[in-house]
Amino acid sequence: MIPQRSNRLIKKLFAPYLAYRLRKAFKALKHDEVEVLPCHSVLLLCNHFSWWDGFFAGHLAHNYLKRDFFIMMQEDHLQKRMFFNRVGGFSINRKSKEVVEALQYAAKLLDDPNNLVAVFPQGALESNHIDEINIERGIDYIVKKIKGDCQIIYYSAFIEYFESLKPSVYFRFLNCGTNKDFDFERLKAMINEHHKIALKEQVNAEH
Protein backbone atom coordinates (compact mmCIF):
# COMPACT_ATOMS: atom_id res chain seq x y z
CA MET A 1 0.00 0.00 0.00
CA ILE A 2 1.21 3.49 -0.85
CA PRO A 3 0.26 6.16 1.71
CA GLN A 4 -0.59 9.68 0.60
CA ARG A 5 2.13 12.33 0.66
CA SER A 6 0.19 15.53 0.12
CA ASN A 7 1.00 18.91 1.53
CA ARG A 8 -1.01 22.09 1.76
CA LEU A 9 1.01 24.02 -0.78
CA ILE A 10 0.69 21.47 -3.59
CA LYS A 11 -3.02 21.05 -2.88
CA LYS A 12 -3.53 24.79 -2.93
CA LEU A 13 -1.75 25.10 -6.24
CA PHE A 14 -3.53 22.10 -7.72
CA ALA A 15 -7.08 23.28 -6.94
CA PRO A 16 -7.19 26.14 -9.48
CA TYR A 17 -5.56 23.94 -12.13
CA LEU A 18 -8.19 21.27 -11.52
CA ALA A 19 -10.95 23.86 -11.80
CA TYR A 20 -9.42 25.03 -15.08
CA ARG A 21 -9.26 21.49 -16.52
CA LEU A 22 -12.86 20.79 -15.56
CA ARG A 23 -14.01 24.10 -16.99
CA LYS A 24 -12.27 23.29 -20.24
CA ALA A 25 -13.73 19.81 -20.60
CA PHE A 26 -17.24 20.36 -19.23
CA LYS A 27 -19.95 22.93 -19.68
CA ALA A 28 -21.24 22.80 -16.12
CA LEU A 29 -21.10 20.69 -12.99
CA LYS A 30 -24.54 20.79 -11.45
CA HIS A 31 -25.23 19.36 -8.03
CA ASP A 32 -28.14 19.37 -5.64
CA GLU A 33 -27.91 20.25 -1.95
CA VAL A 34 -26.96 17.95 0.90
CA GLU A 35 -26.79 18.67 4.61
CA VAL A 36 -23.15 18.51 5.72
CA LEU A 37 -22.85 17.97 9.48
CA PRO A 38 -20.33 20.24 11.24
CA CYS A 39 -17.41 18.60 13.11
CA HIS A 40 -17.81 15.40 11.11
CA SER A 41 -15.35 13.96 8.64
CA VAL A 42 -16.89 12.83 5.36
CA LEU A 43 -16.74 9.44 3.69
CA LEU A 44 -17.72 10.23 0.11
CA LEU A 45 -18.98 7.32 -1.97
CA CYS A 46 -19.19 7.90 -5.72
CA ASN A 47 -20.30 5.89 -8.73
CA HIS A 48 -17.28 5.07 -10.89
CA PHE A 49 -17.84 5.34 -14.62
CA SER A 50 -15.10 7.52 -16.04
CA TRP A 51 -11.56 8.75 -15.98
CA TRP A 52 -12.77 12.01 -14.47
CA ASP A 53 -14.48 10.69 -11.31
CA GLY A 54 -11.59 11.42 -8.97
CA PHE A 55 -11.41 14.98 -10.28
CA PHE A 56 -15.13 15.46 -9.75
CA ALA A 57 -14.84 14.22 -6.17
CA GLY A 58 -11.82 16.47 -5.53
CA HIS A 59 -13.60 19.47 -6.96
CA LEU A 60 -16.73 18.89 -4.87
CA ALA A 61 -14.68 18.24 -1.71
CA HIS A 62 -12.80 21.49 -2.15
CA ASN A 63 -15.62 23.77 -3.27
CA TYR A 64 -18.79 22.40 -1.79
CA LEU A 65 -18.15 19.99 1.07
CA LYS A 66 -15.16 22.10 2.29
CA ARG A 67 -12.98 19.29 3.55
CA ASP A 68 -9.39 18.20 3.01
CA PHE A 69 -9.47 15.72 0.13
CA PHE A 70 -8.08 12.17 0.08
CA ILE A 71 -8.90 9.42 -2.35
CA MET A 72 -8.54 5.66 -2.47
CA MET A 73 -7.07 4.49 -5.77
CA GLN A 74 -6.13 1.17 -7.33
CA GLU A 75 -2.45 0.48 -6.79
CA ASP A 76 -1.52 0.00 -10.46
CA HIS A 77 -3.33 3.22 -11.40
CA LEU A 78 -1.57 5.21 -8.73
CA GLN A 79 1.81 3.80 -9.69
CA LYS A 80 1.29 5.02 -13.24
CA ARG A 81 0.57 8.55 -12.06
CA MET A 82 2.45 9.06 -8.83
CA PHE A 83 1.59 12.75 -8.90
CA PHE A 84 -1.85 11.96 -7.47
CA ASN A 85 -0.03 10.70 -4.42
CA ARG A 86 0.91 14.34 -3.81
CA VAL A 87 -2.68 15.58 -3.90
CA GLY A 88 -4.21 13.02 -1.55
CA GLY A 89 -4.21 9.68 -3.38
CA PHE A 90 -3.41 6.50 -1.46
CA SER A 91 -3.58 3.03 -2.89
CA ILE A 92 -5.41 -0.20 -2.32
CA ASN A 93 -4.55 -3.52 -3.87
CA ARG A 94 -7.57 -5.81 -3.65
CA LYS A 95 -5.59 -8.87 -4.63
CA SER A 96 -3.01 -8.67 -1.87
CA LYS A 97 -3.16 -9.20 1.87
CA GLU A 98 -2.45 -5.54 2.40
CA VAL A 99 -6.05 -4.68 1.61
CA VAL A 100 -6.90 -4.47 5.32
CA GLU A 101 -4.04 -2.06 5.85
CA ALA A 102 -5.42 0.32 3.20
CA LEU A 103 -8.89 0.17 4.75
CA GLN A 104 -7.49 0.91 8.19
CA TYR A 105 -5.51 3.78 6.73
CA ALA A 106 -8.72 5.25 5.26
CA ALA A 107 -10.47 4.87 8.62
CA LYS A 108 -7.58 6.61 10.37
CA LEU A 109 -7.80 9.59 7.98
CA LEU A 110 -11.50 9.82 8.78
CA ASP A 111 -10.80 10.24 12.50
CA ASP A 112 -9.93 13.86 11.75
CA PRO A 113 -13.13 15.93 11.21
CA ASN A 114 -11.38 18.14 8.64
CA ASN A 115 -10.83 15.25 6.25
CA LEU A 116 -12.80 13.74 3.42
CA VAL A 117 -12.01 10.35 1.90
CA ALA A 118 -13.49 9.51 -1.49
CA VAL A 119 -14.02 5.82 -2.20
CA PHE A 120 -15.50 4.11 -5.26
CA PRO A 121 -17.57 1.40 -3.60
CA GLN A 122 -18.02 -0.49 -6.88
CA GLY A 123 -14.32 -1.30 -6.93
CA ALA A 124 -14.32 -1.27 -10.75
CA LEU A 125 -15.09 1.02 -13.62
CA GLU A 126 -18.68 0.38 -14.66
CA SER A 127 -21.01 1.86 -17.22
CA ASN A 128 -22.90 5.10 -16.48
CA HIS A 129 -26.11 3.33 -17.48
CA ILE A 130 -26.25 0.62 -14.81
CA ASP A 131 -29.17 0.66 -12.40
CA GLU A 132 -27.54 -1.48 -9.72
CA ILE A 133 -24.64 -0.11 -7.64
CA ASN A 134 -22.48 -2.87 -6.28
CA ILE A 135 -21.01 -2.03 -2.87
CA GLU A 136 -17.95 -3.90 -1.70
CA ARG A 137 -17.69 -5.14 1.89
CA GLY A 138 -14.63 -2.94 2.48
CA ILE A 139 -16.93 0.04 3.16
CA ASP A 140 -18.39 -1.80 6.15
CA TYR A 141 -14.87 -2.42 7.47
CA ILE A 142 -13.81 1.23 7.07
CA VAL A 143 -16.88 2.66 8.79
CA LYS A 144 -16.62 0.29 11.74
CA LYS A 145 -12.96 1.21 12.28
CA ILE A 146 -13.58 4.96 12.49
CA LYS A 147 -13.15 6.27 16.01
CA GLY A 148 -14.28 9.87 15.52
CA ASP A 149 -17.49 11.28 14.04
CA CYS A 150 -17.98 10.65 10.35
CA GLN A 151 -20.78 11.39 7.93
CA ILE A 152 -21.36 9.17 4.92
CA ILE A 153 -22.41 10.88 1.71
CA TYR A 154 -23.12 9.20 -1.60
CA TYR A 155 -23.61 10.77 -5.01
CA SER A 156 -24.67 9.49 -8.40
CA ALA A 157 -23.14 11.42 -11.28
CA PHE A 158 -24.49 11.44 -14.82
CA ILE A 159 -23.06 12.85 -18.02
CA GLU A 160 -25.43 14.63 -20.39
CA TYR A 161 -24.96 16.72 -23.52
CA PHE A 162 -28.27 18.24 -24.64
CA GLU A 163 -27.82 21.39 -26.75
CA SER A 164 -24.18 21.94 -25.96
CA LEU A 165 -21.12 20.44 -27.60
CA LYS A 166 -19.55 20.12 -24.17
CA PRO A 167 -21.04 17.69 -21.69
CA SER A 168 -22.51 18.67 -18.33
CA VAL A 169 -22.30 16.56 -15.20
CA TYR A 170 -25.26 16.14 -12.88
CA PHE A 171 -24.53 15.09 -9.30
CA ARG A 172 -27.29 13.78 -7.07
CA PHE A 173 -26.34 13.60 -3.40
CA LEU A 174 -27.65 11.30 -0.73
CA ASN A 175 -27.01 11.73 2.98
CA CYS A 176 -26.41 8.21 4.31
CA GLY A 177 -26.20 9.15 8.01
CA THR A 178 -23.20 8.84 10.31
CA ASN A 179 -20.93 6.06 11.48
CA LYS A 180 -22.80 5.92 14.81
CA ASP A 181 -25.99 4.49 13.31
CA PHE A 182 -24.46 2.45 10.54
CA ASP A 183 -25.82 -0.70 9.00
CA PHE A 184 -24.20 -2.10 5.87
CA GLU A 185 -27.28 -3.77 4.41
CA ARG A 186 -29.32 -0.63 4.98
CA LEU A 187 -26.64 1.48 3.27
CA LYS A 188 -26.70 -0.83 0.25
CA ALA A 189 -30.48 -0.64 -0.02
CA MET A 190 -30.48 3.14 0.47
CA ILE A 191 -27.88 3.78 -2.22
CA ASN A 192 -29.52 1.50 -4.76
CA GLU A 193 -32.90 3.04 -4.19
CA HIS A 194 -31.43 6.53 -4.48
CA HIS A 195 -29.60 5.62 -7.69
CA LYS A 196 -32.78 4.30 -9.29
CA ILE A 197 -34.70 7.46 -8.38
CA ALA A 198 -31.80 9.61 -9.60
CA LEU A 199 -31.82 7.80 -12.95
CA LYS A 200 -35.55 8.42 -13.25
CA GLU A 201 -35.23 12.09 -12.33
CA GLN A 202 -32.34 12.50 -14.73
CA VAL A 203 -34.75 11.97 -17.60
CA ASN A 204 -36.53 15.19 -16.59
CA ALA A 205 -33.34 17.15 -15.92
CA GLU A 206 -33.44 20.82 -16.82
CA HIS A 207 -31.40 21.89 -19.80
Partner 1 sequence: MIKVGNNFFIRQILHSYVTWIVKRHFHELKFDPVGVDSNKSILLIANHFSFWDSLILFIVCRKLMKKKFHVMAREETTVKFQYVKYGGAFSINRQSRDMLESLDYAANLLNDPQNLVLIFPQGKLYSNFVNTIQFEKGITRVIEKAEGKFQLIFAATFVQYLKHKKPTATVYLQAEPYAGKNFEELKNVYQMHYDNAKLQQSEIVI
Supply the minimum distance, in Å, between the C-beta of residue 161 and partner 1.
3
Is there binding between residue 167 and partner 1 (CB under 8 A)?
yes
Is there binding between residue 162 and partner 1 (CB under 8 A)?
yes
Subset of 102-161 contacting partner 1 (CB under 8 A): 124-131, 158-161
Supply the minimum distance, in Å, between the C-beta of residue 109 and partner 1.
26
| Interface residue with partner 1, options 7, 63, 79, 202 (CB under 8 A) | 202
Supply the minimum distance, in Å, between the C-beta of residue 195 and partner 1.
11
Q: Which is nearer to partner 1, 25 or 82 (CB)?
A: 25
Q: Which is nearer to partner 1, 114 or 202 (CB)?
A: 202
The 10 Å Cβ neighbour count of residue 200 is 10
Residues 203 and 207: their CA atoms lie apart, in Å, by 11
Residue window 6-45: x/- pattern of binding to partner 1, with contact defined by CB under 8 A:
-------------------x--------------------
Residues 93 and 7: their CA atoms lie apart, in Å, by 24
Q: Which amino acid is at 90?
A: F
Supply the minimum distance, in Å, between the C-beta of residue 192 and partner 1.
15
Residue window 47-86: x/- pattern of binding to partner 1, with contact defined by CB under 8 A:
--xxxx----------------------------------
CB-based burial label for 113 (10 Å; 0-12, 13-18, 19+): middle
Residues 74 and 78: their CA atoms lie apart, in Å, by 6
User: What angle, rounded to 10 degrees, do the helices at 138-145 and 99-109 form?
Assistant: 40
| Interface residue with partner 1, options 38, 39, 97, 165 (CB under 8 A) | 165
* SS3 per-residue string spanning 61-97: HHHHHCCEEEEEEEHHHHHHCHHHHHHCEEEECCCCC
Q: Please choose, from the candidates 106, 174, 102, the residue with its C-alpha nearest in 3D space to the C-alpha of residue 146.
A: 106
Supply the minimum distance, in Å, between the C-beta of residue 81 and partner 1.
12
The 10 Å Cβ neighbour count of residue 67 is 21
Supply the minimum distance, in Å, between the C-beta of residue 21 and partner 1.
10
Residue ranges in contact with partner 1 by CB under 8 A = 25, 49-52, 124-131, 158-165, 167, 199, 202-205, 207
